[in-house]
Amino acid sequence: MAIKLLTSRGVPAWSFRSRRLLKMSALPSTSSHSLTSATVSPLDPVEAAKRLAAYTAVDNHIRPEDKIIGIGSGSTVPYVVERILQQGEERNKDRVFLPTGFQSQQLITHAGLRLGDITQYSQLDCTIDGADEVDAELNCIKGGGACQLREKVLAEAAKTFIVVADYRKNSDVLGTSYTQGVPIEVSPFAYTSVLRSLHTKLDSPQATLRMARAKAGPVVTDNSNFIIDAPFSEAVLRKPRELLVKIKLLTGVAEVGIFCDIVKAAYFGNQDGSVTARSANAHIVENNN
């Protein structure tokens, strides 16, 4: 099966079949490497899907003229950095890479790329990040790795924000596959009052403080805040913008792991070796021919 991405005018833009990227003129290609020419070692199906999505996103959106690039967090992002390195030293020598957290900072420095900080750059050319779930309108749940505040700062600062994930994160409605709840970063001083408001005012009775697995006590973010995971009903999550505003208005909330009206395109690697691409200005048509 092939998946075709059509622009809003119905013109074919990209078609993906097996592990081959077929480049067409409606969208720019930015990499001198094709997916077939890359040296690919065997991976399990989920990891292979992550890598395929990441490679395709980098090829399509990290252009030679892009110099300030945001690198997100999550299990798909190492493949983003891997593909950027494959663009070559000449292309990367004048670039600066901004991390969303400790993980991406380590990826950038270990790869020998130039590390920058958001305080130095008010606008980025492109940010590529992972996602815990993406709905049919490109709204996202992010924050499974407790980085949503910094992720959103870099997403909003970028001219183009792209998300990459495997097929398990591709949903029609948020909360379908990512059932842990909406991640909410809160001030430690305010977490009990935020929890009470979530329980009593916003209909999330199962909202809980996220506890660490390898240490005693709660998860602490890179900003020294706590994380609350707040499950909501499907009916509520069908209106993510409204929910985002309601949570953000609670005193003590630093950021909410709902991303709305930010994503320009999302890439999902599939089990069959294809890529599903969703664009803010396009729709997906499946072609079984």
**Rounded to whole angstroms, how far apart are CA atoms 255 and 258?**
9
Q: What secondary structure does DSSP assign to the chain, as a single string?
A: -EEEEEETTS-EEEEEETTEEEE-TTS----S--TTTS------HHHHHHHHHHHHHHHHH--TT--EEEE--STTHHHHHHHHHHT-HHHHTT-EEEESSHHHHHHHHHTTPPB--TTT-S-EEEEEE--SEE-TTS-EE--TTS-HHHHHHHHHHEEEEEEEEEGGGB-SSTTSS--S-EEEEE-GGGHHHHHHHHHHTSS-TT-EEPBPSSSSSB---TTS-EEEEE---HHHHTSHHHHHHHHHTSTTEEEESEE-S--SEEEEE-TTS-EEEEETTEEEEEE--
Name the residues annotated as catalytic: 151
